Structure 1
Amino acid sequence: MAIIGKIRKQSTLLLIVIGVALLAFIMGDFVRKSSRPQNVLGSIDGESISYTEFINRFYEQEDIYKRNTGKDNITAEEAFQIRNMIWENYLQEAIIGKEMTKLGISVTDEEMEDLIVGLNPHPYIQQIFTDPESGQFSPVFVEQFVSNLENARPEEREFFNQIKEEIKRERLNNKYNSLIAKSFYMPKAIAQITYENSAATREVSIVQVNYQNIPDEEFTLTDADYKAWYDEHKYFFKQEDAVDVEYVIFDIRPTEEDLEDIAEEVEAMYEDFLEHDNAAAFVNTLADARYDSSYFKPGTLPIGFDTLVFNMPEGSYIEPFIEDEGYYFGKILTVANRPDSIKASHLLIQYKDARGAETERTKEEAKAMIDSLLIASKRVQGSFEAAILEISEYPTAKQDEGNLDWMLDGDLNFQLFFDSLITTSVNDYRIVESALGYHLLKVTDKTAPMKKVQIAIGRKLIEPSENTIEDVYMLANKLSGESETIEQFNNNIIGMGLSKRLGERIDKNQYTLPGVKDGREAVRWCFDKNTKVGNVSQVYDVDGKYLVVALQRKYEEGYASLEDVKKIIEPMVYRDKKAEKLIADINAAGAKDLQAIADKYNTEVENLPNVVFASHNLGRFGPEIGVIGSIFGSKKGVVSQATKGEMGVYVYVVNNITNAEPTEDYFFVKMQAERMFTQRVNSSLFEALKEKTKIKDNRVDFF
């Protein structure tokens, strides 16, 4: 509070400083935005994607997502995922769409009709037109909706058209992938070679001289050695735009003083709770609790309650206890034996002014009618089921035969019915009035009653106070404000006793940082054109924590430089030097005795009875593709020259050659190859086409 007082005293100076800073920010933002097209979010093969078009698609997909999930709002992470999906759709349309146009691939009107109202509609249609009460897909709903589409609300028509576009896009992609996969053909000669490579074997005696047997210190690596290896393997080091960052996470936790204050507050709260006549109403006055009128069974309450309340009488109080970062206390309002689920069927008789009613029937007439149906249902077997189909005024009665399926205790949609049927026996009936009218319900099944409690639960979260939050923010702001360079950033971390984290090769389209779930704004700052290596960020409020980031390094799209990878490739450069020396020494000695070579290099001769050409592994030596190839190119009984491998240099002799059994049936070979090819098409085709496409992605400038 003293800090705020000082700020107030300097308010005039502060306003001047803010005004100058704001003007500088506006001018800087204007200059920055003027340096690139403001509305271009990216381009694919020279075709620009406007921000306006992209964001309109986003709103469409957001609406679909909300409808599918039943959510009113989406999180920042969900919005990020939707934007990524839209970007991928743009890529699919531009890259594969171009290919499909060339090939004449399309989806006909007849196909679309079959995917929507056919016998086996698309999963999207099945999901959207599932009856919320029965949980079953209703083809009737689809047909009714499509036939009345012109009369539907504009937002419903728009939503349905979006779904159709998604279905069409998926269908086109499936056709394209299927076409590529089915274009696979393996000639008989290739099938024969593939078969022989997997069936032929060699038995060998072999010596490995491991590279680790020679110390690195025996060699001096030159810049030319590094460059030669790098140039030969440069393709390994292709990279995208990325950054390395250093950052500090400031956790906001309650202090000891906060914990003492909360404990005192809970004690006072509980005393008021004991004196209050209406426990449920009292709970609803609390900031961190709302009364839940459900009946709870064992295993559904916090452990502190669950271990006590089922052995306590109505009216009992539970003193405050700590669980799951909060204080809890409560009062048992009701103890009752109730089933967990009830299965029932119903019919509905409406009256004038009932919700959704289209009848002039009076309430008295409706009551007399439902009473008569009750009497008939009890007297005449099957009359209830017949009445559902002939008389019931519930909209789906004819489709679902009045079946409500299993109703769960606590489901607010069916609580009125459930509570009315608790004491009703299986195959017995009950009349219930709702806003829709009079229902005649029949219990068709129910679970065994169990002990449940209705309880008023008070809760107070254990949270840091406003003063604590302000103190942590001031600490984070101090680190940010007093660190103009990354050197100062690191010195201040040490001086302030903080812990630093590292993030390596952070991609511009990444949402998180290690340990930070919502790090998107910090990532965007790193890739901002005005952010330079060595800069330190402002304070970010993320996941209930504060975050300060320093930009350590930037990587440009292309190939990593030799300097960037020098330490990474050093073991391989040493390996190649060792291989050169070992091969030269072994071959110069002209040794033809494997045991002599093994003795000289303090190793052993090993026998490998079943080396397969198609295998990548050479026994216990691991992946040695080159050495396996050499073995299969060697004659029986001839000691080989020294051969370079991944883990060492090898000398071997082929003791026995077993060729594949002759055959003319390569069906299974071709089938397996085709299956593998299809899998590669599904997983790699789009990425392969994307590699050949010029893509400019500016999303980080916008989101």
Structure 2
Amino acid sequence: MALINTIREKSGWAVGAIIIGLLLFMLGGDFLYGRSSIFGKNDTSVGEVAGEKVEYDDFNNTLEQAKQQFIQQQQRQPDDQAMGYLRDQAWNQTLYRIAFQKEFDKLGLKVSDEELTDMVQGTNVHPSIRQAFTDPKTGQFDVLKVKEYLRNLDKMDPQAQAAFANFEANLRPERLGTKYNNLLKMSTYVTSAEAKRYNEGQAAQASLRYLFVPYFSLSDSSVKVSNEQLQAYIDKNKGRYKVEDGRSIEYVTIPVTASVEDSTTVRKTVDELAARFATAPVDSAFVKLNSDNPTRPAFLSPADMPEKLRAQLPLQLGKVYGPYAENGTYSLYKVSSQKAGAQAAARASHILIKPEGTTPEADAAAKAKATEVLNKIKGGADFAAMARQYGTDGTTATGGDLGWFQQGRMVPEFEKAVFAAASPGLLPAPVKTSFGYHIIKITAPKTTQTYEVATVQKGIQPTDATRDAAYQKAQELKGAATDLASFRAAVAKDKSLQKMEAKGLGRGDQAVNNIQNARSIVRWAYGVNPEGSPTEVGDVSRVFDDVGDQYVIAVLTGERTKGTADVASVKPEVTALVRNELKAEQIISKLNAAKGSSLEQIAQAYGNGAQVKTADNVVLGQGMIPGLGSEPVAVGKAFGLKAGQKSKAFAGEQGVLIVEAVSTTPAPATADVKAAKQQLTAQRVARADGLIYEAIKQHANVKDNRTKFF
């Protein structure tokens, strides 16, 4: 621990135990990461960064540190999903360490021991240390506590020493990174001309008229788009279609779900438990021994009970209720005692009539409407039907039923009316609250009665026979599918199977659509499989049995390499864009041929689809036309026209437009652009860290080979 020795020589101070949990911060983050093709079979490198290979052992050491930090912070072992995140974090740390260090060396950036000392106890104390040794009551940082603990660090457990050693090891690269980023951030500059133009863009306004023909006015079927046109569009806009490596698959899931026979078997077990539960001397012990999800017996008000148990109110002491089947679980409930609770509960339904405005007239109209509906109910109309017809909140679908609720959960006026009722029935007059007027029906009047309920639950799980049957079905599909064509044919033949598709799977993906922890499927798609052979398009996978309660069979349908997207992978998106370009050509041609001097005359000559509208208060810098949306080209053209002057027809974001300037209000002259400069500079600086990282990564020629190992 070089830093510890240096610090001791200088001042003999220490760091407190609390620091361990707070200093696990270094160099992680939600950065993006590079992906590339895998190396040879005998290569032990996990990847390559800036020409330097990342060996498996080195990467695994970084990963193990991240794992231990996770365990210390979360007090649990990481699951598969967390491990995926930790691998990404370890990879980002590795990328940062190698790629950025080369940049530091080019510039000759260094961090001295004096600087490191300053980060722990000087005038520029590291934020994590400051947080760890700041008194929460006074808000004061106490450097004496730092000194006190470092003297005793070598007497502490190895875990504490290792935690600080890890923090120490990362102080220098973190400070180097800060220096490097600050050098680039300090170069951020906004000219006076930029600031002036920004101010003008935010203040200048215009009123305009426009003729608009939306693209959707022409049917898609009337415009044919060829693959050559799609490719030409991609070639012209390569910057928008940069992609990383990707794989596309089609797959089938065969779920392992409990059968009717399985449910019947569990039901017999639960019925036997019910008989024993009724005579059990100690309910808590019985629950602990027999429930899949044992919980201590608890006093429940009607508002807190499961619906099926609540339907049995009032409950009898000593009685076992159930079994009730819900969400794949059988539940038994036993009532052992009862008592008055601290809060009352009640059940009610309501019909809310909201005023259509804030005026006294709107309030009076809402009250009259509520009274009218109430009188209909008094005359025999069904409350639930009236709620569905006249209600204005989310309870209309349930006939106004609010269910059971305790005091304190509703607005005061509503709650006072409900809990004042002594018996079920319709309240005689509407009740006004901040939401409007409520017609209220008391379903169950207030009660403070609570019951102590013990719960036994048994999940309806598939038996081995059911699991074997599902596996056999998966194996039969695997046997019938030898390539993409036979896979599709076999799936189409079995009506119980549904084929799904996942496009553009990345090397680091942990899930396949809604299949979580599907790392094995992703690795197979990238050519890493138990057989050792590379996966090629058209190959059918093995039966995956490690993705939860289901079996999965997949076929690789496409490969995408890092670079520019191919037509197939972005066809729907690009087709829509190219189709709009072709529609724009047709619309512009027809508008140019339309005779007329005014927008209305041109629109009439064009025919169906053309519309003329007016837009006021259009702001130059926002690029929005009220009522139409984002149309920056149209806004720009409007500000370039004189009053009464029309533009030519042009393609916009949502259709073809002709704009006509009505009036323009230029921005007031101002010589003070300081505030605008500060605002624009802050915006650019805020984006700098991410942009710097991406630029370094792009030039580091990153090759990610982790799928070979993880």
**What TM-score results when the alignment is normalised by the length of structure 1?**
0.68
Task: Kindly provide the amino acid, as one letter, of the partner of residue 557 in structure 2.
Answer: Q
Which whole-Å CA distance do the structure 1 matches of 2:298 and 2:171 have between them?
A: 43
Tell me the secondary structure at the aligned position of residue 552 of structure 2. Answer: strand
Deviation of 1:479 after TM superposition, in Å, equals 1.5
Give the Cα–Cα distance (whole angstroms) in 1 for the partners of residues 154 and 670 of structure 2. Answer: 65
- Give the corresponding residue for 1:80: 84
Query: Are 1:515 and 2:519 matched, yes or no?
Result: no
> CA contact under 8 A between 1:201 and 1:659: conserved in structure 2?
yes
Match among 326, 329, 333 for residue 326 of structure 1: 329
Q: 1:544 — aligned with what?
A: 549
C-alpha contact (below 8 Å) 1:195/1:669 kept by paired residues? yes
Q: Cα distance 1:499–1:160, how it changes in 2: closer, same or farther (>3 A)?
A: same
Give the distance between the partners of 2:477 and 2:130, measured in 1 at CA: 54
- How far apart are the structure 2 equivalents of 1:96 and 1:34? 24
In structure 2, what is the Cα distance between the partners aligned to 1:613 and 1:75?
A: 52
Cα distance, 1:211 vs. partner? 4.0
For the Cα contact (< 8 Å) 2:299–2:452, is it kept in 1?
Answer: yes
Structure 1 residues 130 and 564 mapped into 2: Cα distance closer, same or farther (>3 Å)? same
| Counterpart Cα distance in 1 of 2:541 and 2:629 | 47
Secondary structure, in 3 states, of the residue corresponding to 2:624? coil
Distance 1:97 1:619, change over 3 A: farther
Q: Which has the larger radius of gyration?
A: 1
- Whether the aligned pair in 2 keeps the contact of 1:124 and 1:163 (CA below 8 Å) is no
Alignment equivalent of 2:196, drawn from 192, 199, 214: 192
Tell me the distance in 2 between the aligned counterparts of 1:288 and 1:219.
61
Cα distance change of structure 1 residues 295 and 564 upon mapping to structure 2, 3 Å threshold: closer
Mapped to 2, the partners of 1:257 and 1:552 lie a distance apart of 38
Q: Secondary structure at the residue paired with 2:249?
A: strand
Is 2:268 the counterpart of 1:264? yes
Offset of residue 230 of structure 1:
3.5
2:206 to 184, 202, 208: 202
Deviation at 1:290, TM superposition (A): 5.0
Q: Per-residue displacement from partner, 1:568-607 (whole Å, max 9, x unpaired)?
A: 4344334334444554565577864333322211334433
Contact kept? 2:243, 2:565, Cα under 8 Å: yes
Contact 1:243–1:554 (Cα < 8 Å) also in 2:
yes
Are the equivalent residues in 2 in contact too, given 1:300–1:306 (CA < 8 A)? no
Q: 2:238 aligns with which of 234, 240, 252?
A: 234
Structure 1, residues 67-110: CA drift from partner, whole Å, max 9, x if none?
A: 11111x22111111111111111222233444444456566656
Check 1:114–1:291 CA distance in 2 against 1; reply closer, same or farther (3 A cut). farther
1:247 and 2:246 aligned: no
User: Does the CA contact (< 8 Å) of 2:543 and 2:551 recur in 1?
Assistant: yes
Distance 1:305 1:631 in 2: 65
Mapped partners of 2:709, 2:45: distance in 1: 10
Whether the 8 Å CA contact 2:623–2:636 is kept in 1: the answer is no
Match of 1:422 in 2: none
* Aligned-pair CA distance for 1:657: 3.1
Matched, 1:303 2:306: yes
| Separation in 2, partners of 1:37, 1:224 | 42
Matches within 5 A, 1:377-392: none
2:665 maps to 658
Asked if structure 2 preserves the Cα contact closer than 8 Å seen for 1:302 and 1:323, the reply is no
Aligned: 1:63 with 2:68: yes
The structure-2 alpha-carbon separation of the partners of 1:590 and 1:109, relative to structure 1 and needing over 3 Å to count, comes to farther
* Cα distance, 1:50 vs structure 2: 0.8
| 1:506 lines up with 2:513 in the alignment | no
Is it true that 1:149 corresponds to 2:156 in the alignment? no
AA matched with 2:505:
I
Shift of 1:37: 4.4
Higher mean C-alpha deviation, range 666-675 or range 56-65: 666-675
8 Å Cα contact 2:616-2:626 kept in structure 1: no
Distance 1:48 1:222, change over 3 A: closer
Q: What's the counterpart of residue 535 of structure 1?
A: 539
- Give me the whole-angstrom Cα distance separating, in 1, the residues matched to 2:295 and 2:201: 71
Q: Is the 8 A contact 1:42 1:699 kept in 2?
A: yes
Change (3 A) 1:284 1:561: closer
Measure how far apart 1:244 and its partner are: 1.7
In structure 2, what residue type is equivalent to 1:233? N
Alpha carbons of structure 1 residues 607 and 65: separation in structure 2 relative to 1, 3 Å = same
* Correspondence for 2:481: 483
Is 2:564 aligned against 1:559? Answer: yes
Supply the distance in 2 between the matched residues of 1:601 and 1:469 (Cα, whole angstroms): 66
> Does structure 1 conserve the Cα–Cα contact (< 8 Å) formed by 2:596 and 2:605?
no
Q: Hey, what does 1:617 align to over in structure 2?
A: 624
From 628, 644, 653, give the equivalent of 1:646. 653
Give the 3 Å change call, closer, same or farther, for CA 555–222 of structure 1 in structure 2: closer
Deviations 1:117-142 (A, max 9, x none): 789976766898999xxxx9999886
Aligned length: 557
- Output the amino acid matched with 1:207: L
Q: What is the alpha-carbon distance in structure 2 between the residues aligned to residue 216 and residue 338 of structure 1?
A: 66
Post-superposition offset of 1:522: 0.8
| 1:275 Cα offset (Å) | 5.0
Calculate the aligned-residue CA RMSD, in Å: 4.2
Identical-pair percentage: 27
Q: Does 1:467 pair with 2:465?
A: yes
Quote the residue 2:523 is aligned against: 524
Counterpart CA distance in 1 for 2:456 and 2:599 is: 81
Tell me how far 1:616 sits from its aligned partner.
2.2
Q: Aligned with 1:620: secondary structure?
A: coil
